Amino acid sequence: MKVLIVDDSRAMRMIVRRTLRQAGYENITVEEAANGIEGIDMVAKFGPDLILSDWNMPEMTGLEFLKSLRASGNSVRFGMVTSEGSMEMRGQAEEAGALFLLTKPFGPDDFKTALSAAGF
């Protein structure tokens, strides 16, 4: 499984990587990007099976990133990992095509539940 982690915080990208392993996803290949624009480049180069993206990022937000992917016809499975946990933002993410929205702070069980439901 190839996972693209998109977050402007290097600390958070590392924590997401670590939490994926703790959730039992050991045999994965991970690439990273620091915002939506870098994310679009990485999707073309890396061809991920799953994208885990922050919402609030400079240059291009996670929601804009997701909308851009869908507008270009890309249907890669996409989950938000963000501090934006309100119902309205969950609704926006879902409407744009996100499979789930995980709220920071999170633990391995949160990842396991969300990714299992997404088919991983």
Partner 1 sequence: MSATTSPPSYDDVIASTCEVWSMMLGVDLDVLSNAPLIEGESITAVVTVTGGWNGAVLVKAGVETALQTGAIMFASDPGETSDEDVRDAMGEIANMIGGSLKDRVGPGHVISIPAVTEGLAYKVYVGHAKKVHEVGFASPDGVVILSVFDVGKPT
Residues that bind partner 1 (CB under 8 A): 8-12, 14-15, 18, 56-58, 82-88, 103-107
Q: Which residue's CB is nearer to partner 1, number 74 or number 103?
A: 103
Closer to partner 1 by Cβ: residue 77 or 101:
101
Closest CB to partner 1 among residues 77, 79: 79
User: What angle is formed at CA 87 by the lines to CA 84 and CA 81, rounded to 5 degrees?
Assistant: 35
Taking each continuous run of H as one helix and of E as one strand, the counts in the chain are: 5, 5
Written as one letter, the residue type at 11 is A
Q: Is 73 exposed, middle or buried (0-12, 13-18, 19+ CB in 10 A)?
A: exposed
